[in-house]
Chain A
Amino acid sequence: MEPLLEVRDLHVDYLSDGMPPAQVLRGVSFTVSKNEAVGILGESGCGKSTLALAILRLLPSRSRLKGAIFYKSRELTNLPEREMEKLRGAEVSLIFQDAGSSLHPTLRVGTQIADVAAAHHKDWSARQRREGAEAILKEVGFDQVERIYASYPHQLSGGQQQRIAVAQALISGPSLLIADEPTSSLDTTVQAEILALLKRLRREHSLALVFVSHNPAVLAEMADRILVVYAGQIVEEGSAQQVLNSPLHPFALALLRCVPKDVRHNGPDRLLSAIPGSPPDPAETPAGCPFAPRCAERMDVCGSRMPSETRPEPDRKVRCFKYGG
């Protein structure tokens, strides 16, 4: 079956005056099928948010994008901005890490939801927009819909704000939701609530999901399949089961060693202590495997050239000399 989303050899560089370009994504390829939930796992700064923004063509002007992105067989990288506007929110939606700052501070949240409806249903009357917004507010779990509708973001809690962001993302009926660490700024109880909400809505709206996180425990809960990203490359890919229970790539191994054995137990983020060392500078192109300086299983060949992708098992990919490459 043809995938809903296919990203092919995506490169993103951030440009700044007098500096070499920062190569934040270095040839990322993956697919997302209809109704599938794909988790993206990686350290801070590895390019997860950049990937999310690139798919929706929301990168800052001082950046460069190469590669191809197909959504329902349409190539997005050369789509005119007008067409992208129609697609954003109606076909592919994005929710951000910090709902507090992703909502506009001086507009009522109801208006902000109704605005999204208005953008995609030009023929709706003001009344229809309001009714649509109130209906979706009910769906994301609010009881006093009218009071919430008239609130400003700063009057709501972090969890409520994230529900509003979810309402905005879903009001125009997208087929794919990209969630960029939607719960990592929330405390554990609220985080669990939002995750449960997303799971329910995913079922009810038959959504495909790209869920970005640096927390394996959260992905264990949310993802069917997991992509592990290191320094702008996918270093391992497989089903959530496979990747979380028997990781292949030394980076994935090290990352998972930092969380408690029972990853299904939804622990707080701080259990995730960092792997010693730091990722390579995105402004430089490493000669060998980018993980080599931090890798416990480094071999001679690792410093000489970049490992290529291999398939040690069916439906599993890895980028490491331990498995050929």
Chain B
Amino acid sequence: MAYLLRRLLHGALVLVGVSVLSFLFVQLAPGEFFSDMRLNPQVSPETIRHLRAQYGLDRALPIRYVRWARSVAKGDWGYSFAYGLPVSKLIWSRARNTLLLTITSALLAWLISIPLGIYAAERRDRWGDRVTVAGSSALLTVPDLLLALALLILAIRTNAFAAGGMTSPDFAELGTVAKIKDVAAHFTLPLAALVLGTLPIFFRHVRAGMIEALALPSIQSARAHGIPRSRILFRYALPAAANSLISLFGFSIATLLSASLLVEVVMSWPGLGPMLLEAILARDLYVVIGAVMLSTFFLVAGNLVADVLLYLSDPRIRRGPA
């Protein structure tokens, strides 16, 4: 139990640290939301001063941070300059879409890479292994951006998938089943881009982890006792590789999240990605900080889930040091 509490505390500290850092970076970056207005002769300097005061931009950095923290405590997460709305309201629906995409692609990528990695490790150096390894290496050399663009072009050319956005223009008039179908059709493309982008990384880790596990003395000895191959693979070797795979799972959330932000922009998926980009360009500070904080939160949560899984799967951690 102490182990989990420690991990939880660690996560909280990371969140606070990131909030301070992102606050510093974002605020110290040159230019601000109201810089462009200064160039506009129709807006008087008086108005700008007024606006800046209203958003607290004329205050010292620590004071702004404290104000922001208070607003976080209230659940607002600061205000968006561009929309004049609390950041939390803006971000939440976007975050939901990003999560939908990230979690589904994580599950799918793991679901494919675990059996594939086990298969390749079991046939190490033989044909099945060589082919899958070569395929994954080829896929790995394609940058995520290129992959997304290629898929997009493919979709537009073939008209097989809905390209861009999350819903069709007539979404509101559709029935429930048709609505789900519509989202699924729009979902396929970004999902494919993410899964194809991360699959080779996961596959390699699973394969390497399994190869290492299969060479362990405990697996050798299980084989020496005549325990059948299938049972060795799933009951002995996979759990032995689990520790590193579970840690990778936490880390994979990070990879997927950043890949997701990119793919979202390319495929105009209404997630955090496009919003973050827009907010950065407009220097909509609190939206940027909010999106960064939320991404960090997902990361920390992913690692916490991994820690809990680790705790459950390994009796040595569960019982603490002997």
Tell me whether B226 and A89 are in contact (CB under 8 A). yes
A-B residue pair count with CB separations less than 8 angstroms: 95
Tell me whether A152 and B217 are in contact (CB under 8 A). no
Residue B134 CB within 8 A of the other chain: no
Which of A114-122, A206-214, A242-250 lines the interface with chain B? A114-122
Residue B314 CB within 8 A of the other chain: yes
Residue B125 CB within 8 A of the other chain: yes
Given contacts A62-B125, A119-B231, A152-B315, contact A103 B226 (CB under 8 A): no
Residue A56 CB within 8 A of the other chain: yes
Alpha-carbon distance A116/B232, docked complex (angstroms): 11
What chain A residues lie within 8 Å of B314 (beta carbons)?
105-106
Tell me whether B223 and A88 are in contact (CB under 8 A). yes
Which of A28-36, A126-134, A165-173, A215-223 lines the interface with chain B? A165-173
Which of B215, B218, B313 lies in contact with A104, CB distance below 8 A?
B218
| Chain A interface category by residue count | 35 or more
What chain A residues lie within 8 Å of B223 (beta carbons)?
58, 88
Alpha-carbon distance A152/B228, docked complex (angstroms): 22
Tell me whether A106 and B225 are in contact (CB under 8 A). no
Alpha-carbon distance A62/B125, docked complex (angstroms): 9
Given contacts A58-B220, A61-B124, contact A120 B226 (CB under 8 A): yes
| Chain B interface category by residue count | 20 to 34
Alpha-carbon distance A244/B83, docked complex (angstroms): 91
Q: Min CB distance, A165 to chain B, in Å?
A: 7
What chain B residues lie within 8 Å of A155 (beta carbons)?
319, 322
Tell me whether B218 and A102 are in contact (CB under 8 A). yes
What chain B residues lie within 8 Å of A154 (beta carbons)?
315-316, 322
Residue-wise, chain A 167-197 has the 8 Å CB interface mask toward B (1 for contact) of: 0110010000000000000000000000000
What chain B residues lie within 8 Å of A322 (beta carbons)?
none
Alpha-carbon distance A42/B223, docked complex (angstroms): 25
Tell me whether A96 and B227 are in contact (CB under 8 A). no
What chain A residues lie within 8 Å of B216 (beta carbons)?
101
List B299-322 residues whose CB lies under 8 Å from chain A.
313-316, 319, 322
Q: Min CB distance, A14 to chain B, in Å?
A: 13
What chain B residues lie within 8 Å of A168 (beta carbons)?
221, 225
Tell me whether B240 and A106 are in contact (CB under 8 A). yes
Tell me whether B226 and A101 are in contact (CB under 8 A). no
Residue-wise, chain A 129-169 has the 8 Å CB interface mask toward B (1 for contact) of: 00000000000000000000000101100000000010011
Tell me whether A58 and B226 are in contact (CB under 8 A). no
List B210-243 residues whose CB lies under 8 Å from chain A.
215-229, 231, 235-236, 239-240, 242
Alpha-carbon distance A102/B239, docked complex (angstroms): 15
Residue-wise, chain B 21-56 has the 8 Å CB interface mask toward A (1 for contact) of: 000000000000000000000000000000000000
List B274-322 residues whose CB lies under 8 Å from chain A.
313-316, 319, 322
Determine the residue in chain B with the shortest Cβ distance to A105.
Answer: B316
Residue A309 CB within 8 A of the other chain: no
Determine the residue in chain A with the shortest Cβ distance to B322.
Answer: A154
Which of A79-87, A226-234, A259-267 lines the interface with chain B? A79-87
Which of B215, B220, B229 lies in contact with A102, CB distance below 8 A?
B220
Q: Min CB distance, B19 to chain A, in Å?
A: 37
What chain B residues lie within 8 Å of A94 (beta carbons)?
221, 224-225
What chain A residues lie within 8 Å of B322 (beta carbons)?
154-155
Residue-wise, chain A 46-77 has the 8 Å CB interface mask toward B (1 for contact) of: 00000001001010111000000000000000
Q: Min CB distance, B123 to chain A, in Å?
A: 9
Alpha-carbon distance A247/B220, docked complex (angstroms): 35
Alpha-carbon distance A95/B125, docked complex (angstroms): 28
Q: Min CB distance, B281 to chain A, in Å?
A: 50
Residue A90 CB within 8 A of the other chain: yes
Tell me whether B316 and A96 are in contact (CB under 8 A). no
Tell me whether B240 and A105 are in contact (CB under 8 A). yes
Chain A residues engaging chain B, CB cutoff 8 angstroms: 53, 56, 58, 60-62, 81, 85-90, 93-96, 98, 101-107, 112, 115-116, 119-120, 152, 154-155, 165, 168-169, 172
Task: Show 12 A/B contacts (Cβ-Cβ < 8 Å), sorted by A.
Answer: A61-B124, A86-B226, A89-B225, A101-B217, A102-B220, A104-B218, A106-B242, A107-B235, A112-B222, A115-B231, A119-B227, A154-B315
Chain B residues engaging chain A, CB cutoff 8 angstroms: 124-125, 215-229, 231, 235-236, 239-240, 242, 313-316, 319, 322
Beyond contacts A81-B229, A88-B225: 6 other A-B pairs, Cβ-Cβ < 8 A, are: A61-B124, A85-B226, A98-B217, A103-B221, A104-B236, A152-B319
